[in-house]
Structure 1
Amino acid sequence: MGAAVEDGSETIGDAEIDEIIAEAGGDPRQAIRSLLHDLAKLALDAETSVSHGFVRGRFPPLRARIGR
């Protein structure tokens, strides 16, 4: 993937962006839609895998944060 930078995040190169768009059939809107879907799914998965008691209710449920 991308190279790690000082804060621990990764930089995303143009080749990786082009690959994601190609996977969406060349449609940038579909690529963004797919990425947002995957991000929401990961967030929901993380929410269900972490004990509510562990985070001590500091975070509202995902449904409240995304307006569902």
Structure 2
Amino acid sequence: MSAASEREHVADATDEEIDAIVAEFGGDARQAIRALLHDLTQIALDAEAAVSRGYVRGNLLPFKLRGSADPS
């Protein structure tokens, strides 16, 4: 994958969006990051359950989930 096509898949958050997320957690950046990682994990798990493993060849999750067995 070329660098140009990789950039198309990266969502750039604005400073205002980042400030809003941190403010939602009372200014605690660790809590905000923890919540975002939790949401990302849930989205990945939902996608894993909804998509055929054969279709994605088992490469759906781009990161390892803590405490989960290796699906391969």
TM-score normalised by length of structure 2: 0.67
SS in 1 for 2:17: helix
Gaps of 5+ in 2: 68-72
Aligned to 2:18: 17
Aligned to 1:66: 65
Q: Distance in 2 between matches of 1:52 and 1:10?
A: 25
Q: Does 1:42 align with 2:43?
A: yes
Structural RMSD (CA): 2.2
Identical counterparts, % of pairs: 53
Q: Distance in 2 between matches of 1:49 and 1:22?
A: 33
Once the two structures are superposed, what CA deviation does each residue of 1:15-42 show, in whole Å capped at 9, x if it has no partner?
A: 1110000111111110000000000000
Q: Distance in 2 between matches of 1:44 and 1:66?
A: 9
The alpha carbon displacement at 1:47 in A equals 0.3
Q: Distance in 2 between matches of 1:39 and 1:55?
A: 18
Which consecutive aligned stretches of 4+ in structure 1 deviate over 6 angstroms post-superposition? none
The alpha carbon displacement at 1:67 in A equals 4.1
Point out the more displaced range, 42-51 or 7-16: 7-16
The alpha carbon displacement at 1:48 in A equals 0.3
Gaps of 5+ in 1: 1-5
The one-letter code sitting in structure 2 at the alignment partner of 1:54 is: Y
The alignment covers a number of residue pairs equal to 59
